[in-house]
């Protein structure tokens, strides 16, 4: 798509030329993309005729269109979840450890558990933590028992600034001016809430993870509190409703 992948926006290429424009996502854009992806997963899990499990959710598989709306791509590992769970074969169950990407794949897949929507929820939780910390789950700092999940968990709520992507702490205004935009108390409060959603989604136990419908509801509530209702916001919501109902 026109604006490439989410990964390209969160991490500049080391092969970037000096003449290339540095692209960064603002706080509001990250919230919007997180909601876009949550809506897409909620659709796959609950709105399709049969449940679809993506199995490989990660920033490289989130593409941004001309309007910076996030879209889930690459369904090469996706599975349709039969209404009859007994249709899963032994071979499917035993090969689950190969599905997904290191850092984003849920721990139960590595132990031979069946594919489930909760696996996608785990990957989404890690994705959400990455979007706002700016750190990959495979970062060199995450070793000897430290993971992006417990890195964030240990910092909340008092040290949220320390774990937030530095780009977000002092970003330039989206209008192209040199006016600085600094996260205020309201943003920090909502960042805490976003991180908490990410932590719940990436809980080790599948039963403790949120449903994507609840994720959508909570993130949309945060966005409403952050942004004043605008024509753009109303049109975006109308688009989601139309896509969900097929109208």
Q: How far apart are CA 23 and CA 7, in angstroms?
A: 11
Is residue 185 annotated as part of the catalytic site, yes or no? no
Residue 14 near residue 25 (C-beta atoms within 8 A) = no
Report the DSSP beta bridge partners of residue 181: 171
List the beta bridge partners of residue 79: 53
Within 10 angstroms of residue 115's Cβ, the number of other Cβ atoms is: 23
DSSP result, 168-225: HHTEEPTTSSS-EE---HHHHHHHHHHHHHHHHHT-SSGGGSPPHHHHHHHHHHHHHH
Report the Cα 227 to chain-centroid distance in Å.
20
Q: Given 36, 56, 120, 165, which residue is catalytic?
A: 56
Between CA 147 and CA 103 the distance in angstroms is 9
Q: What whole-number distance in Å separates Cα of residue 61 and Cα of residue 54?
A: 10
Q: Which residues are catalytic?
A: 56
């Amino acid at each position: 798509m026109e604006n490439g992948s989410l990964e390209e926006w969160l991490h500049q290429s080391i092969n970037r030329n000096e003449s290339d424009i540095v692209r960064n996502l603002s706080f509001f854009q990250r919230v919007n993309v997180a909601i876009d992806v949550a809506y897409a997963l909620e659709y796959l899990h609950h709105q399709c005729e049969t449940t679809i499990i993506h199995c490989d959710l990660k920033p490289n598989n989130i593409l941004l269109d001309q309007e910076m709306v996030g879209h889930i791509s690459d369904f090469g590992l996706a599975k349709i979840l039969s209404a009859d769970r007994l249709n899963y074969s032994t071979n499917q169950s035993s090969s689950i450890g190969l599905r997904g990407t290191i850092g984003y794949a849920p721990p139960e897949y590595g132990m031979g558990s069946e594919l489930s929507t909760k696996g996608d929820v785990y990957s989404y939780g890690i994705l959400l933590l990455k979007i706002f910390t700016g750190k990959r789950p495979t970062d060199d700092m995450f070793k000897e028992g430290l993971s992006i999940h417990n890195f964030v968990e240990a910092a909340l709520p008092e040290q949220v600034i320390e774990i937030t992507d530095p780009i977000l702490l002092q970003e330039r205004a989206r209008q192209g001016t040199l006016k600085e935009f600094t996260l205020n108390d309201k943003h920090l409060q909502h960042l805490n809430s976003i991180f908490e959603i990410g932590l719940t989604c990436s809980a080790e136990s599948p039963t403790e993870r949120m449903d994507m419908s609840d994720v959508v509801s909570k993130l949309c509530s945060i966005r409403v509190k952050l942004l004043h209702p605008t024509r753009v916001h109303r049109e975006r919501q109308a688009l989601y409703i139309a896509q969900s109902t097929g109208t």
